[in-house]
Amino acid sequence: MSYTIKKFDNEPILMITIHEDYNVATDQVKSDADVRPYFENTEEDLYHIINIIDLNISLDDIVQAANAGTRKEEALWKHPKHAMLILITQNPLAKVAAKGLGSSVFGSVKVRTFNTTEEALAWIREDIAERVA
């Protein structure tokens, strides 16, 4: 499979890891459909990690993913239980594009980027602790 999904036990964290054979044009509809039930069947808002470290992503892929994630009627990144999009990438183009998701054109998506999964998880857990305190 071109992606794997992991829901962290006892934490409001959902991570989809995109593998190198993932094709945005053909796989995003399926991966979004597989992820959607996690948002539909939770009481709490979920931090949505997308790890694209292994993906060789193009500008066309980024535009297509952003449009699907924010503009379509069933846009996953606009789901009421979607707390924040966390993008794990070292690709400078993807990092710039992620900042653009915060604009009103894309519906002001809450998004952060990190270079590693460990950095992302540490930040999320700190954010959760601050919200609880």
The pTM of the full predicted model, rounded to 2 decimals, is 0.90
Q: Are 78 and 109 in contact (CB under 8 A)?
A: yes
Mean pLDDT on 21-36: 92
Q: Note the pLDDT of residue 11.
A: 96
Q: Note the pLDDT of residue 18.
A: 96
Q: Are 128 and 122 in contact (CB under 8 A)?
A: no
Backbone φ, ψ for residue 103 (5° rounding):
-80, 160
Q: How many CA atoms lie within 13 A of 44 on its CB side?
A: 12
Q: Are 94 and 62 in contact (CB under 8 A)?
A: yes
Classify 7 as helix, strand or coil. Answer: strand
Q: Are 79 and 43 in contact (CB under 8 A)?
A: no
Query: 99-108: per-residue pLDDT in tens?
Result: 888 788 777 8
Mean pLDDT on 24-32: 91
Query: 80-89: per-residue pLDDT in tens?
Result: 999 999 999 9
CA max distance for the chain:
43
